[in-house]
Amino acid sequence: MIVNAKLSAIRGIKPHEWIIRFVFGGAVCVIAGLIAQRFGPVIGGFFLAFPAIFPASASLVEAHEEQHKARAGFNGTNRGRIVAAIDALGTAMGCIGLAGFAFVVWIWLPRTGSAQTFILATFVWLTLSVGVWLLRKKRVFRRLGHAFR
């Protein structure tokens, strides 16, 4: 699998889909802020780390895939679910890197300068994210078979 980005896909996103993502992401941030006010910034930070736009994006990815298959004359329900599951797997892998980033910032920021902390946290994020991706490539798909390939 080669990681790539299709910037042309951005043009295919409808305005109401941008609004859904923005509203949902904003709502998650507000809820995290309210939790932080009530239970403190450490607990609130855990909720802020929630990938704010993931639920909206997953449902939109599923719907797009179903529509794409329907235009070709097929039932795209299964394909939509598989694509949303792959998206969820990628999000989970990214969250591991994000948790490492947050941990480094939490531990090091009070002790050192922000530039050094940011550089170290970014290195940890990159190392964890790439490491989890490589581990997934070697182990996870052997167990799941070819369903997600």
- The whole-angstrom separation of Cα 77 and Cα 123 is 39
| Rounded alpha-carbon distances, angstroms, from residue 35 to 14, 17, 62 | 32, 27, 30
pTM to 2 decimal places: 0.60
d(CA 41, CA 61): 32
Give just the sign of the alpha carbon dihedral 49, 50, 51, 52.
negative
The pLDDT of residue 2 = 65
The pLDDT, as a whole number, for residue 99 is 86
- CA dist 29 and 41 (Å) reads 13
Question: Tens-of-pLDDT digits for all 149 residues of the chain?
Answer: 566 667 776 677 778 877 887 887 788 888 888 998 999 887 887 777 666 667 767 777 777 777 777 777 777 777 778 888 888 888 888 888 888 998 899 899 889 888 999 999 999 999 998 898 888 877 655 555 555 44
